Amino acid sequence: MTVTEAPASPRLRWMTATARMVIDETPRVRSLVLDVPDWPSHKAGQHVDVRLTADDGYQAQRSYSLASAPGTDLMLTVERLDDGEVSSYLAGDLRAGDRFELRGPIGGYFVWTPALDGPLFLVAGGSGVVPLMAMLRARAAAAVKVPTVLLYSSRSAADIIYRAELERLAAEDGTLKIVHTLTRERPNGWSGYTRRVDRAMLDDVGFSPALRPRIFVCGPTPMVEAAASTLRSLGHAANLIKTERFGPSGR
């Protein structure tokens, strides 16, 4: 038995974040570039807790994935939900210069580091692309050339987050392939998929199970449930499929 002395873990403390820049990604999604003094760095895929304080002291707290690669400007990308108490502020009323608190980074499981081997298969639904974008940005920053595919499902072309940057990343790197599918629109001239992520698509776009790709799936619960089960039935090992879900099951 190996006894490892766990390092004393200091409490993750709340830090003040100041929005330096606000970027409208889509009609419902915004990225915030943040100044956080003393940010301790993070791994791609990790998240933070955000806490807002109203002028009467009322507070509200939620978790958001980080969108930025380690060592670059800290970025959150937030989808405004119709009933979202915190998202309607972060992706609505907030302006550059406004402040809130965050703490993190959190999570040691749904993470990618340049040391990971194997092909990388990323499957995103909607704003589930955010932690996967952090992975693609980290991969590009580290100039890692593991063969990588992002399969990204959006409602419509206008809902695709990071579209231009994804195109640029793929154009600059022959080992990266980006595949879009649209579930509610078939625009003129669109040559990509126009249906929900399904078995044939995962089989066509992804890597053979024999290559033991590392798979990260993030999106709304029903989409992640379906994709993860299908990937297993295609022969991918359960321990190579990491998932992050948001929202209710709908059941």
Partner 1 sequence: MTEPPISRGFRGRGRGDQSARVPPGQHLVTDFPVLSAGPTPEADLASWRFTLEDGESPLAEWSWAEFNALPQTDVVVDIHCVTTWSKLDTAWRGVAFDTLLEAAGLSEPPGPFTLVHCEGGYTTNVPSEDLVDGKAMVATLYDGEALHPEHGGPARLLVPHLYFWKSAKWVRRIQFLDAEQPGFWEENGYHIYGDPWREQRYDGD
**How many whole angstroms separate alpha carbon 243 and alpha carbon 87?**
22
Burial of 50 (0-12, 13-18, 19+ CB in 10 A): buried
State in angstroms the smallest separation of the CB of 110 from partner 1.
7
Map residue 33 onto helix, strand or coil. Answer: strand
Verify binding: residue 55, partner 1, rule CB under 8 A. Answer: yes
State in angstroms the smallest separation of the CB of 7 from partner 1.
10
Q: Which stretch binds partner 1 (CB under 8 A): 86-94, 112-120, 176-184, 193-201?
A: 86-94
Q: Which stretch binds partner 1 (CB under 8 A): 48-56, 112-120, 165-173, 194-202?
A: 48-56
Verify binding: residue 60, partner 1, rule CB under 8 A. Answer: yes
Tell me which of 70, 107, 213, 219 binds partner 1, using CB under 8 A: 107
Tell me which of 29, 52, 75, 160 binds partner 1, using CB under 8 A: 52
CB atoms within 10 A of CB 234: 13
Verify binding: residue 251, partner 1, rule CB under 8 A. Answer: yes
Verify binding: residue 241, partner 1, rule CB under 8 A. Answer: yes
Which backbone phi and psi does 128 adopt, to 5 degrees?
-65, -10
Give the footprint of partner 1 on residues 203-222 (CB under 8 A). Answer: 221
| Token digits of residue 86 | 């915190």
Verify binding: residue 24, partner 1, rule CB under 8 A. Answer: no
Q: Which is nearer to partner 1, 80 or 242 (CB)?
A: 242
The secondary structure element, H or E, covering residue 61 is: strand 59-65
**Contact (CB, 8 A) for 119 and 207:** yes
Residues 6+ apart with CB under 8 A from 26: 158, 159, 160, 161
**How many whole angstroms separate alpha carbon 4 and alpha carbon 225?**
36
**Contact (CB, 8 A) for 49 and 109:** no
Give the footprint of partner 1 on residues 162-201 (CB under 8 A). Answer: none
Verify binding: residue 54, partner 1, rule CB under 8 A. Answer: yes
Q: Which is nearer to partner 1, 175 or 221 (CB)?
A: 221
Tell me which of 21, 63, 145, 185 binds partner 1, using CB under 8 A: 63
Tokens 């992002």, residue located:
150
Q: Which stretch binds partner 1 (CB under 8 A): 47-55, 71-79, 130-138, 170-178?
A: 47-55
Beta bridge partners of 15: 102
**Contact (CB, 8 A) for 227 and 196:** no
CB atoms within 10 A of CB 208: 12
Size of interface with partner 1, in residues (CB under 8 A): 50
Given the rule CB under 8 A, which residues bind partner 1?
A: 9-12, 14, 16, 49, 51-55, 58-63, 85, 89, 93-95, 98-101, 106-110, 221, 225, 228-229, 231-232, 238-239, 241-249, 251
